[in-house]
Amino acid sequence: MSGNKPTTIKEIARKLKISPSTVSRALNDHPSIGDVTKDRVRKIAEEMAYEPNQTAIFFKQRKTFTIGVILPKLSEPFFSDAISTIETVAEEKKYTVLLGQSLDNEQRELNIVQSFKKHRVDGILMSLGKNTANMDYLDILAKTEIPIVFFDCVPDLPNVHKVYSDLSTGMMEAIDAFIDRGHHKIALINGPESLLASKQRSEYFIKALKQRGLAVDTNYIVHTDLTEQGNEDAMESLCALADRPSAVVSFNDFVTLDLIRYAKQRGIVMNQDMYFISYANYPLWKYMDNPPMGSIEQYPDQQAQRAAEILFDCIDKKEAVEQAQEVIFPSKLVLK
Amino acid sequence: MSGNKPTTIKEIARKLKISPSTVSRALNDHPSIGDVTKDRVRKIAEEMAYEPNQTAIFFKQRKTFTIGVILPKLSEPFFSDAISTIETVAEEKKYTVLLGQSLDNEQRELNIVQSFKKHRVDGILMSLGKNTANMDYLDILAKTEIPIVFFDCVPDLPNVHKVYSDLSTGMMEAIDAFIDRGHHKIALINGPESLLASKQRSEYFIKALKQRGLAVDTNYIVHTDLTEQGNEDAMESLCALADRPSAVVSFNDFVTLDLIRYAKQRGIVMNQDMYFISYANYPLWKYMDNPPMGSIEQYPDQQAQRAAEILFDCIDKKEAVEQAQEVIFPSKLVLK
DNA sequence: TTGTAGGCGTTATCAT
DNA sequence: ATGATAACGCCTACAA
């Protein structure tokens, strides 16, 4: 039960009085080795509890059969779904998954990338943190030739592989749903203006309103820093308007949780005085007495699956991945 | 942007017309190397974008600076909290985390252990799946000398390191809370009888009732297989009783979500006709109109932290870990 | 202060 | 069918 080192091929060879190469070949079922020898080797290997030293093999093959996954935080169902899918795909390819949560912290993101690089992962799947602006690691990785595929929260750059959800389709459906139900005072509670995700929501929101012939009231577009306080403040500023909106598209379901709670405190009746639709389609709404009118599904599993496939294509050096891949899934409104 | 291999120490040596060992030492700031040489080496290394090949180092050191974490599923907040803590501790020790979700599947658990062993992780943190009975990997790991520390859902074996939550304290508090509020018809909706977790809940439930002088009505102890249907069935069987209980301890918050929904459908008014307390203390209750009376916190972060510490002690070969460590945190009722 | 040589475990190449 | 040798990149005892 103490420091007895693992058996090596050499030891087997010595015991059998044959050469290490023969042992190696026998163990790998090489055709040129006789069945007798193979059997003898296998038997002894079994007895001595031989286990190939993968670190040696990785080293020699210049491959680790490991991919790194970097995402903001696993406590968001979107990402815990995604990682499950990634794991499944990886498992099929006999790969193992190295995990890193950035917690939306740019510095951590960089550290994780560095650490993954150190560990010589064969590839990286990454969803950016909410505030990430700096893309230095792209250079770092380009130098090291480690393929990287972004998903969900992707950088606004050409020449990188990315898989994400098209927020506009869901937005259009949301606005449609609101208008069809007679709403014309529709607001947007958006995330921080710096985020690409926010810019997109904003853009699609305005586009959708215009397309349906509604005027865009800038008072109806407010921002939250995504903290509980920020969410409440955003809601408050909407409620303070003389002409309060009757429908709200919110950044995501987490924000909406706070909005609904705040609204209730203020005596605003859900789905009567005010209607909500947000992004994410988290599974918890079915347990709520006052769920939002709908939520926009962004398909974490599909995104993760596709991103993982592209990554493995890169790793396996398929031709198709010479150019940067860009895969976009439409988002979809799900009524509650 | 193509197959130019990473710089090696040899190449730097050649370029500088000095020996590889000198380069190695210079790079590692060895005291015997002159400052001039160090500077020259560092400069060239920088220029040539030298990166030490960790796989070579791992191979040589017989260490990977990697720990494997195996847990049932990250979609449970308990585990996503736990993994965050583990990552933090690992990061401090310059370790990276390999992830494996067992999805409560024993075969997967074994595969993951095998895969981790292949990757020569320096240690493993593991929380068992709900149905795991087979502990073969313990032998596997013992042979390989890979330390393993269990947390939360731990095996009922001696001689293994384990960190878990004492369910009895929370149960006692729950029963106390119910009784103090005048309840004496108290039921338990338990998980599958096969689970250790269920056996414990059952045992502590009965013990707590007896301790407070209440009779134990076996009709008041029902089981669910933890599916939505199972949860509803369990609730149904309680509601069907002539003498319906007014208070229920349930297996966990997920079960309680279904119970509450079912109860509401049946016109049972929460916290009036019926009161609930369950294990987990998930963060979502604050958003619910009808939260349970309370929930029992099991401190994922503390458990994970402690387990990780023990694991690193094992890895660092501290004396203290020669005997199997067993750390128990009391669970605690949190009223809503 | 620096260089030389050997080895970590495995496998591929070239012999025999 | 099997063996000897070299090499992957790095480190380090020993030598100079």
Q: What is the DSSP string of B246-259?
A: SEEEES-HHHHHHH
| Shortest distance, CA B122 to any CA of chain A (angstroms) | 12
pLDDT of residue B1: 37
Whether B4 is covered by a domain: the verdict is: no
**Same domain for B151 and B83?**
yes
Please, are residues A275 and A305 in contact by the beta-carbon 8 Å criterion?
no
CA distance B297 to B331: 6
Which residue is the nearest neighbor of D7, CA to C1'? A60
- Span B87-99, mean pLDDT? 96
Contact B300, B272 (CB under 8 A): no
Q: Is A3 inside a domain boundary?
A: no
- Whether residue B73 and residue A83 make contact (CB cut-off 8 A), yes or no, is no
pLDDT of residue B204: 98
pLDDT for A67 equals 97
C-alpha–C-alpha distance, residues B284 and B269, integer Å = 20
Rounded-to-integer distance, Cα A300 and Cα B91, Å: 27
Task: Specify burial of residue B97 (Cβ count, 10 A radius: 0-12, 13-18, 19+).
Answer: buried
Residue A122 burial by Cβ neighbours in a 10 Å radius (0-12, 13-18, 19+): buried
What CA–CA distance (Å, rounded) separates B174 from B250? 11
- CA atoms A217, A218, A220, A221: torsion sign: positive
Would residue A192 count as lying in a domain?
A: yes
Q: Report the alpha-carbon distance of residue B192 to residue B223 in Å, rounded.
A: 6
Are residues A283 and A322 both part of a single domain? no
B279 and B180: one domain?
Answer: yes
Mean pLDDT of chain B: 93
Contact B96 A119 (CB under 8 A): yes
Q: Do B286 and B186 belong to one domain?
A: yes
Helix (H, G, I), strand (E, B) or coil at A147: coil
- The answer as to whether A196 is a domain residue is yes
Which residue has better confidence, A284 or A195? A284
Residues A289 and A177 in one domain: yes
pLDDT in tens, B227-239: 999 999 999 999 9
Query: Do B248 and B188 share a structural domain?
Result: yes
Residue A1 pLDDT grade (very low, low, confident, very high; cuts 50, 70, 90): very low
Query: Cβ–Cβ of B287/A257 closer than 8 Å?
Result: yes
* Interchain pair B51, A144: CB under 8 A: yes
Per the DSSP assignment, residues forming a β-bridge with B280 are B297
Closest CA to A187 of A133, A126, A127, A235: A235
* pTM assigned to the model: 0.93
Are A113 and A95 within one domain?
yes
Q: How confident is the model at residue B96 (pLDDT cuts 50, 70, 90)?
A: very high
pLDDT at A167 over 70: yes
DSSP one-letter code for A245: -
Same domain, B269 and B281: yes
Range in A69-73, A297-301, B316-320, B321-325 with the lowest mean pLDDT? B316-320
Measure the CA angle with vertex B130, ends B127 and B134; round to 5°: 80
Contact state of A261 with B77 under an 8 Å Cβ cutoff:
no
Residues A22 and A74 in one domain: no
> How many Å from the CA of B210 to C1' of D10?
66
Task: Kindly state the helix (H) or strand (E) to which residue B270 belongs, with its residue range.
Answer: none
pLDDT, mean over chain A: 93
Are residues A98 and A129 both part of a single domain? yes
Classify residue B3: in a domain, yes or no: no
A100 phi/psi in degrees, rounded to 5: -145, 125
Residue of A86, A93, A96 for testing the chain B interface, max B β-carbons within 10 Å: A96
> CB closer than 7 A to strand D: which residues?
A 17-22, 25, 31-34, 36-37, 59-60, 62; B 5-6, 8-10, 20-21, 24-25, 27-28, 50, 52-53, 56-57, 59-60
B39 touches strand C (CB under 7 A): no
User: DSSP for A271-287?
Assistant: TTTBEEEEEE--GGGGG
Number of Cβ atoms within 10 Å of the Cβ of A74:
25
In a domain? residue B58: no
Q: Which residues of B touch A80 (CB under 8 A)?
A: 73-75, 80
Which residue's structure tokens are 């009722």? B333
pLDDT tens profile B131-173: 777 777 777 777 778 999 999 999 888 889 999 999 999 999 9
For residue B320, the model assigns a pLDDT of 64
Is residue A185 classed as helix, strand or coil in its secondary structure?
coil
* Domain assignment of residue A1, yes or no: no
Does residue A59 form part of some domain? no
What is the extent of the structural domain holding B121? 64-163+300-329
Looking at residue B90, which CATH number applies to its domain?
3.40.50.2300
A127-136, A255-264, A273-282, B157-166: range with lowest mean pLDDT:
A127-136
Which three-class secondary structure state does DSSP give residue A268?
coil
Return the HEC string of B276-330.
EEEEECCHHHHHCCCCCCEEEECCHHHHHHHHHHHHHHHHCCCHHHCCCCEEEEE
**Count of the separate structural domains present in chain B:** 3
Q: Within this chain, do residues A286 and A255 fall inside the same structural domain, yes or no?
A: yes
Residues B174 and B246 in one domain: yes
